[in-house]
Amino acid sequence: MVAAPAWAGEDHVRGGQTVPVYSYEDAVRESVWVQTTLDNDRDGVPDKVAVDITRPRAKGKVPVILEASPYYSCCGRGNESELKQYDANGVITKQPLFYDNYFVPRGYAFVSADIAGTGRSTGCMDVGGREEVLSAKAVVDWLNGRAKATYADGTPAVATRWTNGRTGMIGKSWDGSVANGVAATGVEGLETIVPISAISSWYDYQRYNGVLRIEDYPEYLHRVVNGRPAGVCDAVVQGLDEGSDDATGDYNAYWAERDFRPDARKVRASVLIAHGLNDINVSTTQFARWWEGLRAPKKLWLPQQGHVDPFDIRRAEWVGTLHRWFDRWLQGLRNGVEREPAVTIETAPGTWAHERNWPAAAARTTRVALGDGNGATGTLGGRSTPGSRTWDDNPDLSEAAAVASPNAPVRGRVAFLSAPLTEPVRISGTPTVTLKVQVDKPTTELTARLVDYGTATRVNYLGRGEGITTLATESCWGASTAADDACYRDTAESTVTAGHAVLTRGWQDAAHHVSLRFVTPLRPGRWYSVTVPLQPTDQRIATGHVLGLIVQASDNEYSTPQSTGATIHLDLRGSALNLPLIGRLPTPGAAAPVVAATPASPNRVAPPRSRPLLPDGTGLRSQK
């Protein structure tokens, strides 16, 4: 028997969509604690998840929009870092973000959960692990009558009295990562997820193919969001330190527990992904690998910003998409959103296109040869040529110095340039660089960058707002109360005109060239083929511009380099750049073209390594 839609007998559906008819001011606001099956704080009592609810006073049962987060009391949500607020009795009065303001009047409940070990929940935060995921899953189970909860006074709280259990999870960054993890369990009742700039593999967030991003990172993240008294979670923190294994960079059982991609086939929920193509915090491999593994109905938004919510990029269009998406999958309204083009992508500042899939169907993997050029600056394209390059690991070499002058000798890097493009080309997918190298140490880190050399106005993703500027004006998205308004500072896209831009980056520890699960030390004097995967991207390069490949060893800006001081010899004929390409690179001349030296963007902020990272942004200041 097919269940009646959530809106049966109600009047909040008109013209095929939900409309605001319920009083937001008079909504039911309550707080409950959901019991889990875990006890990782080892106090002999099942861990409990604090859940705050805002729901309409509807006649029938309503679906739920759920955001499970570690940030509700430590760091805040959104561009304005909003925190939860409570009355004197501990009942929620203000929910962060606009989801409750906008959707509750339209016949949805909004539920926010403090994941285990954070906010008012018990248990211990295990940073992407089993406790984190199952604590949020327990909320979905409770909404569907499969778990127990109580109010603060200990009386039972029964969700099935007011909800039909149809749940959608949403969240940016860490919150979206939790949604991915819960969906990967295949839990019944989770109908859709909206992960924004989210993690699908915590190994890839804290490691770059064996390269350490920041030392003692899981412990740092635990400390930032921990809501438990001192000492309660010491055993869990010790487990984070030992399991993450900074010493080797190996992918092990600890990381496998925090890798949701192998279970993408279990995902029953539809998936709406949004991810900045220039996100250097939660890198683009996180969405790309997750996207390719999903078999459920799916949709993708790809702006050119960094770690920014689409609400702060293209606000009206994003809210409209969310509205129709939730109406379709939670309210059961046949509005056709799933039949629209699956991909919405920003091709240039303020210019958007719709496509059927991603990567673009016309993209073909093209092997681009590395040529000797003038013996200093090499060439891209044409036929392979004999030749070699030799450089020493220079961990102090900045990205700005490495890419700004491709024709000049720079210690610690080698450069290869295409001929000026005779037609525009597009890179859509995951580039890789295969390097045939000989190294005089047991390992070295290898870093590769693709650079567009040519003056253009581009989204300023390296600026302080990661591609947006916050304005003084406000706009309102839903109903308000005295305690919780629906108004948010407007934003504008931030751009910069410069002579070059880094399109994508990639890193690889050479001793992990066989497998990420173990180290295979290199033997001096022996040649090895090492592939450096770059971050997935989608970029267009204009006629007359030059495509550059910059290769160096360790990178002190985007990682914590384990520099070995190696000398690297590169055999050009055995090496190549592999591009998912639409269009053709022109055949290069005998020597690489001369590219004018250009300084780094004047709006560039401090590089990532100099700022404390959270999966919700580059430091507590950022776009949460």
The strand order across the sheet containing 62-69 reads 149-150, 28-35, 48-55, 109-114, 62-69, 163-172, 190-196, 270-274, 298-302, 343-348, 351-355
Q: What is the rounded radius of gyration, in angstroms, for the C-alpha atoms of the chain?
A: 25
Distance separating alpha carbons of residues 389 and 569, to the nearest angstrom: 6
Q: Which of 173, 494, 559, 622 is catalytic?
A: 173
Contacts of 390 (CB under 8 A, 6+ apart): 567, 568, 569, 570
| Mean pLDDT, all residues of the chain | 94
- Does position 385 have pLDDT exceeding 80, yes or no? yes
Distance separating alpha carbons of residues 552 and 415, to the nearest angstrom: 9
Q: Is 279 a catalytic residue?
A: yes
- 606-616 residue pLDDT tens: 666 555 567 77
Q: Which of 307, 512, 513, 545 is catalytic?
A: 307
At 3, the pLDDT band (50, 70, 90 cuts) reads very low
Map out the domains of the chain with their CATH numbers. Answer: 26-355 (3.40.50.1820), 364-598 (2.60.120.260)
- 472-501 residue pLDDT tens: 999 999 999 999 999 999 999 999 999 999
At 516, the pLDDT band (50, 70, 90 cuts) reads very high
Distance separating alpha carbons of residues 214 and 206, to the nearest angstrom: 7
Strand partners, 375: none
At 561, the pLDDT band (50, 70, 90 cuts) reads confident
Six-digit token string for 351: 């210019």
Q: Is 307 a catalytic residue?
A: yes
Task: Give the residue-averaged pLDDT of 128-132.
Answer: 97
Distance separating alpha carbons of residues 490 and 183, to the nearest angstrom: 32
Six-digit token string for 111: 């539920």
- 430-452 residue pLDDT tens: 999 999 999 999 999 999 999 99
Instruction: Say what the pLDDT of residue 591 is.
Output: 87
- 42-76 residue pLDDT tens: 999 999 999 999 999 999 999 999 999 999 999 99
- Does position 562 have pLDDT exceeding 90, yes or no? no
- Does position 2 have pLDDT exceeding 60, yes or no? no
Q: Which of 279, 393, 509, 538 is catalytic?
A: 279
Six-digit token string for 44: 């002999």
